[in-house]
Structure 1
Amino acid sequence: MIIDDSLFKSSGDRHHFFPYNERSKKILVFGGSSLVPLSLKRNVSYMLIGNLIYALSQWGIIMVLAKLGSPKMVGGFTLGLAVTAPIILIFDLQLRSVLATDTKEEFSFRHYLALKGVNSFLAILVLGIVIIIGGYKGKAAFVIFLVGVAKLIESVIELHYGLFQKQERMDIIAKSLIIRGCTSLFIIALLITITNSLLIGVAGFCLSWLCLLFILEVPKAKRMAASQSSPLKLVSVKKLFLTSFPLGLVMMMMSLYTNIPRYAIEHVIGTEAVGYYSALFYIVTAGNLVINAIGQTISPRLANYFTKEEYIPFSKLLTKFVCFGFIYGSAGVLLTLLIGKQVLGIIYTQEYVQFQKLFVLLMIAGTLMYAGSFFGFALTAMRKFSIQPILSILWVISTILLSFLLIPSYGLTGAAIVTIITTAIQLFTLALAVMWYLHQAKKQHQLTAYASN
C-alpha cells in the first residue's frame, strides 16, 4: 500500500518527534512528516472493516479447499497451521504488542527488526527439525514447511503494523489487511482451480505475502522510522529479547492449548476429522479477528491510562469491551442455533451440516474466548509480562488432561467440551490477574500520594 501524502504534515525538524496539538490530538513526526492519530471510534471502525474483510478472505481459503478440494485437503492445510503455530509464535515474541505499548520509547524500530530477523532464522531451523522428528514426508512435509514460512512472513508484516498501531493510525493497517487478504484468497483459489494441488496453492499463498511485505510494508516503515538514527546496540536487542520472551512463551502455550485437541483428533480419529473440526472452529476464529481488531486499537489507550495512573478510565474502557465480547459471542451462539445448518451448507458443503451441534458448542467456547481476549490485551498494556507464561502453562496442562480424558471417549464432541472448559479457565485466570495488578497499582498510588502529603 502506498502511503497517501495527505496523511502527513511537513515539519522543519527532521530528526526529532514532538507533540503538537490540533483539535487536542498529538502529532508525531517521522522523517520530516507528522502523523496525526485518529480518534478511538475511527480507529475501531477502520480495524473492524479491515479485520472483517481479512477474516472473510482467510475463511474463504478454507471454503475454497472444502468446495474445490476435499475435507482431507482442509485437514492437511489446518494441520500445517496447527504444527507450525507454536513454533512461529514463540519466536514472534508478540513484538508487535511490545512495540505498540512502548510508550517510553525504550527501543527503536531497528532493534525490533533485528530481533525479528534472528528469531525468524531460528524458527525456520526449528520448523525443519520438527517436520523431520514428526515423521512428516513428501507433499505433507512441504505443505507444513510452506505454511510455516507464510506465517513467518506474516509475523514480520505484523511487526511493521506495530509502528502504525503505536501512533493510533489503524486505517493504514486496515488497508494493508484488505489488500493482503484479498490477494492471498485470489491466488490460492486460482491455483487450486487450475492445479487441484494443495502444495502449489500454499506455495503461491506464501509468495504473495512475501511480495506484499517488500512492496507495501518495508517502504512505509523506512519512512516512518527515518528519524531513528541511533546505532544498533546488541545490548538493547538482548534487553528487548528478555523483555518480550515471556510473551513469546505465552503465545506458544496459547497455540498449544488451542491446537492440542487437533493433535488428539488426528491421533484418535484421523486427518479428515481434523478438517471438519478445524473448518467449524475457523468460523469462531474469524469472529475473534474482530475482537483482536478492537483489542489492538484500545491497547495503546489502555497503556497510556495505566502509565499515567488513570485507573478509573482504564477500568471503564476495559469493562465496556469485556461486556461487548460477551454480547458479541452470545449473538453468535443464537445465530448458530437458528441458522447454523444453513450456514454450514452454504459456506462449506452438505457434509458439514451434520456437525451443527458441534458448531453450537464451539460458538459457546468462542463467547468465553472473546471476553477473555480483552483481559489479555489489558495485561499486556499494563506490561505485566512475567505472569502470563505461568497462566498459559496452566491452560496447556488443563487442555492435555481434558483431551486425554474426553476426546478418545466422545470424539469431536469431546474436543468441543475441552475447548469450552479451557476457554473458561483462560477467562477466569486472566480476569483475576488484571484485577490483582490493578488493585496493587491503586494501592501503591495511594501510598505514594499519602507519603507526599
Structure 2
Amino acid sequence: MNKNFLVYLAGNIVFGFTQWFVIVLIIKFGTKLELGAYTYGVAVIAPILLMMSYGYSTLIVTKPELQKSMIYLTRWLNMIITFTLYGLFIWLWSDITSDLYKLMAVIALTKIAESLMEIDYSYAIKLNKHWKVGVYKIIFSLYQLCLIVVGYYKCSNLFLPLLIYSTTVIIFATYKSRRQFSFKTFNWQQLLMLIKFGMPLSIALFLSSLNTNIPKYALENYKSLADVGIFSSLIIFYSAGNVFYYSLYNFLLPRVVDRQHNRSFLQRLLLLILTGNGVILLGLIILEACFIESAIKLVFNAQFLNYKRELLIIITSSFAVYTSTLLDLFINTFQKYTFNTVTQIISVCVVFIGSIYLIPIYSVFGAALTFVLFAITVFSLKLLISIFIIRGVKHGD
C-alpha cells in the first residue's frame, strides 16, 4: 500500500485512538455524570463546527479558484462565532450544572483548535502530501495523550490538560498561518462563492452529525446523562471505523477528481466499494460471534455486557454508513452538493422521528435502532445518486 497513505492513515488512527482513550479514562476512573457531560459537550459542539465549516476541506480540493487567504480568514471568523453559539446553547438550553461549565468550555476549545488545523491538512491533501497530515496528527495526538494521562492522575480531571492542549494548538495554528491574516485581501466575490458552494456542503455536514447526535439529545431529554454516556461509548466503535473510511475518502478524492470523465473507472470503483465492504462485514460478523464479550470487557467493563445487543447492532449497521462515506466520492467529485444536502435532510427526519418514538420506550436500545434507520437511509439514497451520476458520464475511457 502507498506509504503516503499509510502515514496519513496512521495519523488518523492515532488521533481517533486519543478521542476514544479519553472516554475510556472517564469510564474507568470518572463518574457516569462526567462521562455524560463530556460526550454531551462533544455532541453539541460537533454539529455547530460542521455548520460553520462551509465544507472547506472539500472545496479546497474541488474548487482551485478559491483564494487561500479568504479561506483562512473566514475560517477564523467562523470559529469565533462557533464558540459563541456553543456557549449560548449550553447556558440557555442545557441542564448542565455550573461546576461542569469549565470542562464544557475546554471541550469546545479543543475541537475548535483541531478544526483550525483542518485547513492546512486540506491543502496538504490537495498536493497529495497526505503524509504531512499524518505526521501532524500523530504529534498532536501523542501530545494530547501525554497531557491527559498526566493530568488525569495528578488532577483527577480533564480540564487542565485539555486547556493546555487547546491553547497550544490554537497558538500554533495562528503562527503557522499568520501571513494569511489580512483584511486587505478580503474579497466580496470570493465570499459569495464560498457561501454559494460551501453552504450546501455545510448544511449536509451539519445534518450528518445530527444523525448520531439527535439520539443523544433525546436520551438527555427523556432519560439521563448517564444514558447519553453509555450510547456515546458504544458509538465510539462506529467512530473508530469511520477514521479509516474518512482517511480513505480523503486519499481517493483527488484521484477520482482527476479521472471523473472515465466512466469505466467509476463503475469499477463503485463495484469495489460495494463488494469490498460486503466481504469485510462478513468477516467481522464471524469475529463478533467469537470475541465480542471479551472485547467489551477489555475496552469497557463487565457492566457493559448488558449492552452487547446494542453494540452488535451499531457495529453491523456501521458498514452501511462507511459505504455511504465512500459514495460521497462520486457526489462531491461532480459537485452535486445539493443531492448530499437533500439526503441528509431525509435521514435526519427519519432519525428524529425514530428518536421520539423509540428512545422514550427502549432507552439506549432505541438509540441503537435509530442508528440502524440512519444507516439504511443514507446508504440507499447515496447508492441511487451515485448510480445516477455514473450513468450520466458520457466518456467510457
**TM-score between the two structures when normalised by the length of structure 2:** 0.92
State the secondary structure of the residue aligned to 1:53.
Answer: helix
Aligned identity (percent) is 19
CA contact (8 A) 1:330 1:364 kept: no
Q: Which amino acid aligns with 1:123?
A: T
Q: Which amino acid aligns with 1:341?
A: E
Once structures 1 and 2 are overlaid, which stretch shifts more, 194-203 or 411-420? 194-203
Deviation at 1:332, TM superposition (A): 3.6
Of structures 1 and 2, the larger Rg is shown by: 1
Residue 157 (structure 1) aligned with residue 117 (structure 2): yes
Q: Show the counterpart of 2:325.
A: 373
Residue 130 (structure 1) aligned with residue 89 (structure 2): yes
Change (3 A) 1:154 1:378: farther
* Structure 2 counterpart of 1:178, from 138, 141, 146: 138
Q: Which amino acid aligns with 2:69?
A: R
Counterparts of 2:281 and 2:172, CA distance in 1: 33
CA contact (8 A) 2:227 2:363 kept: no
**TM-score between the two structures when normalised by the length of structure 1:** 0.81
State the secondary structure of the residue aligned to 2:128.
Answer: coil
Larger helix proportion of the pair: 2
Q: Show the counterpart of 1:119.
A: 78
Once structures 1 and 2 are overlaid, which stretch shifts more, 256-265 or 199-208? 199-208
Q: Show the counterpart of 1:339.
A: 291
Q: Show the counterpart of 2:46.
A: 85
Deviation at 1:367, TM superposition (A): 1.4
CA contact (8 A) 1:66 1:74 kept: yes
Deviation at 1:160, TM superposition (A): 0.9
CA contact (8 A) 1:322 1:372 kept: no
Residue 247 (structure 1) aligned with residue 201 (structure 2): yes
CA contact (8 A) 2:144 2:162 kept: no
Residue 43 (structure 1) aligned with residue 15 (structure 2): no
State the secondary structure of the residue aligned to 1:188.
Answer: helix
State the secondary structure of the residue aligned to 2:259.
Answer: helix
State the secondary structure of the residue aligned to 2:335.
Answer: coil
Change (3 A) 1:122 1:194: same
Counterparts of 2:327 and 2:367, CA distance in 1: 25
What whole-Å deviation, never above 9, does each CA across 1:63-108 have from its counterpart, x for those lacking one?
Answer: 1121122333222111111111111110012201210223xx2112
* Structure 1 counterpart of 2:14, from 53, 64, 70: 53
Q: Show the counterpart of 2:210.
A: 256
Change (3 A) 1:392 1:111: same
Unaligned runs of 5+ in 2: none
- Report 1 or 2 for greater relative contact order, CA contacts < 8 Å, sequence distance ≥ 6: 2
* Structure 2 counterpart of 1:418, from 367, 370, 378: 370
Deviation at 1:203, TM superposition (A): 2.4
Q: Which amino acid aligns with 2:34?
A: M
Counterparts of 1:56 and 1:384, CA distance in 2: 33
State the secondary structure of the residue aligned to 2:337.
Answer: coil
State the secondary structure of the residue aligned to 1:92.
Answer: coil
Q: Show the counterpart of 2:163.
A: 203
Q: Which amino acid aligns with 2:148?
A: I
Counterparts of 1:99 and 1:427, CA distance in 2: 26
State the secondary structure of the residue aligned to 1:107.
Answer: coil
* Structure 2 counterpart of 1:292, from 229, 239, 246: 246
* Structure 1 counterpart of 2:262, from 310, 333, 346: 310
Counterparts of 2:230 and 2:332, CA distance in 1: 34
Deviation at 1:303, TM superposition (A): 1.2
What whole-Å deviation, never above 9, does each CA across 1:23-50 have from its counterpart, x for those lacking one?
Answer: xxxxxxxxxxxxxxxxx83333222222
Q: Which amino acid aligns with 2:3?
A: R
Counterparts of 1:236 and 1:212, CA distance in 2: 26
Q: Show the counterpart of 1:324.
A: 276
What whole-Å deviation, never above 9, does each CA across 1:392-442 have from its counterpart, x for those lacking one?
Answer: 111111001011111112221121111012111001111111221222333
Change (3 A) 1:184 1:323: farther
